[in-house]
Amino acid sequence: FVTPSRNMHLLKKEGYIDGKWVKANNNAVFSVLNPADDSVIAEIPDMNDTDAKNAIEAASKSFQTWKDTTAKERSYILRNWFNLCEKHSGDLAEIITAECGKPLVEAKSEIVYGNSFLEWFADTARHINGEIIPSPWPNKQILLTRQPLGVVSVITPWNFPFAMITRKVGALMAAGCTCVIKPSEDTPLSALAAVSLAEQAGVPKGVINVITSSRKNVNTVGKVLCEHEKVGCISFTGSTVVGKILYSMAATGIKRVALELGGNAPFIVFPSADIEHALDQAMLAKFRNNGQACIGANRFLIHEDVFDKFVNGFKARITQKCVLGPGTKEGVTCGPLVNNAHVKKVADFVNDAISKGAKVLVGGKVAKNLGDNFYESTLLVNVKPDMKLYNEEIFGPVAACLKFKTEEEVLKIANSTRSGLASYVFTKDLGQSFRMSRNLDFGMVAINDGIMSAAEPAFGGIKESGIGREGSKHGAEEYTDIKYTLMSGL
């Protein structure tokens, strides 16, 4: 297994506060592991609440000047950052694969995807406009302007360790905010690499700061990031459980939140669908990032008329196309899961389903021949509502299939969850497409597609899947407040 030693200039092993690469104030460190073999890639600072406060002070100081830069200047810097990430995409990808496990090809796609947010927000920065509204009074004018929120605490997960940084930081910088990033303890090196390129791109000191912390320090650091008086917004992507904790801490200071939480995506196939196409898209919606995506298909709801055809086709594709192994090996399509605790969680979901009557058609266990962190690509049928994997996000390479009879029934099943992020529908009936789009209680609906994420649309969920949108012009507006100024006596 290759650790990215030859990319030393991007493999940063320190936090980043006020334009300086720094150790933890108490010199503590923790190890970042390669999930393919659990080897240590790097030892990095295990920062605590004191470091978090220092980072917030730096971000707050730099906000005073960054907010007054022109949108054109901010756009220029973001574009520089985009260009550098493109230039160094090979090295960035190696770091992502080393700490996150995904195949190199997927890591490269993540760079393209993640970098598209920097490009998009470089443009969007110059289009964050206000409004002038006709006043109800004579000789007065109503101005609505958009003002940056201030310091944003950015807390990110391990599944897209580069893209989750750019999607948030590109947007908030465009709006004129500054930030403190706390990347996942599993994948901090991608964040540090991205930020070292931001430094080269000319991002002024203090605009982006990075605090690296192990799980041990995450509660105290998280409390500072959510409750410090100089923080204006908490932007989080991760589990719903942690999202609720952060939301409640944010409430103590009435802070703004942007929350991208878990999903439980239905993948619905009607009899009119092009089944071969639906199967190709099912492979993407389920096995991209080995199932570790919040918009990954969680429940395959297949009409009874095409159930056998779909399941047989799915079985054949999984058997032929899912190649398990370390992400650095040529031809591998599914890497290890991010860590052993996560493997145990996925295994527990599958065992629970089997004990309640689910039938395994492919996979169904840990791939011990490769190590402890690899889980076989799995297909289950006879899935029922009392099973954990029906109700909760699997976040792994397990496709669970259920049969339905009517549109009304499938809507009821699909919506019977507290999550509301992504959903997928396959049909050739135009009226049905519109009905499903309207009636599915999800923030995002893909009709006849298994991949829907990009910089241009607004990404986000309803119900317990979150608050706010990322990407699109709305993504940048999330980091602004509307100010109303009344111009009187005109």
Residue nearest to ligand ADP (CB): 222
Alpha carbon distance 125, 72 (integer Å): 7
Q: Which residues contact 65 (CB under 8 A, 6 or more apart)?
A: 204
Task: For ligand ADP, give the closer residue by CB, 222 or 291.
Answer: 222
Hey, what are 480's tokens? 């602004």
Residue type, 39: S
Task: For ligand ADP, give the closer residue by CB, 80 or 184.
Answer: 184
State which of positions 156-195 bind ligand ADP (CB under 6 A).
Answer: 156-158, 182, 184-185
Residues 385, 391: contact at Cβ < 8 Å? yes
The contact mask relative to ligand ADP for 239-278 (x = CB under 6 A, - = no) is x--x--xx--------------------------------
Task: For ligand ADP, give the closer residue by CB, 157 or 326.
Answer: 157
Q: Does residue 155 belong to the site contacting ligand ADP (CB under 6 A)? A: yes
Identify the bridge partners of residue 153 per DSSP, sorted by sequence position: 180, 234
User: Would you call 260 a catalytic residue per the annotation?
Assistant: yes
Count of residues near ligand ADP by CB under 6 A: 15
Output DSSP code: residue 31: E
Q: Does residue 222 belong to the site contacting ligand ADP (CB under 6 A)? A: yes
Task: For ligand ADP, give the closer residue by CB, 242 or 445.
Answer: 242
Alpha carbon distance 304, 22 (integer Å): 59
Q: Which residues contact 183 (CB under 8 A, 6 or more apart)?
A: 156, 161, 165, 190, 191, 192, 210, 212
- Cβ contacts of 17-22, under 8 Å, gap ≥ 24: 17/51, 17/54, 17/55, 17/58, 17/209, 17/210, 17/211, 18/54, 18/55, 18/58, 18/61, 18/62, 18/205, 18/206, 18/209, 19/58, 19/199, 19/204, 19/205, 19/206, 20/205, 22/51
Longest dimension (CA), the chain: 79
**Per the residue annotation, which of 260, 376, 470, 478 is the catalytic one?**
260
Q: Does residue 220 belong to the site contacting ligand ADP (CB under 6 A)? A: no
Residues 398, 291: contact at Cβ < 8 Å? yes
Hey, what are 7's tokens? 């990319």
Residue 460 CA, distance from chain mean position: 10
Kindly indicate which of the ranges 89-97, 236-244, 377-385, 416-424 contains the residues binding ligand ADP, using the contact rule CB under 6 A. Answer: 236-244
Task: For ligand ADP, give the closer residue by CB, 213 or 427.
Answer: 213
Q: Which residues contact 13 (CB under 8 A, 6 or more apart)?
A: 42, 43, 44, 192
Alpha carbon distance 25, 83 (integer Å): 33
State which of positions 72-131 bind ligand ADP (CB under 6 A).
Answer: none
**Strand runs labelled E in 73-140:** 131-133
Q: How many CA atoms lie within 13 A of 215 on its CB side?
A: 7
Burial group, residue 466, by CB count within 10 angstroms (0-12, 13-18, 19+): buried
Task: For ligand ADP, give the closer residue by CB, 78 or 225.
Answer: 225
Q: Residues 218, 362, 413, 467: which binds ligand ADP (CB under 6 A)?
A: 218
The contact mask relative to ligand ADP for 28-57 (x = CB under 6 A, - = no) is ------------------------------
Hey, what are 288's tokens? 């991209």
User: Which residues are near ligand ADP by CB under 6 A?
Assistant: 155-158, 182, 184-185, 218-219, 222, 238-239, 242, 245-246
Query: Which residues are catalytically annotated?
Result: 260
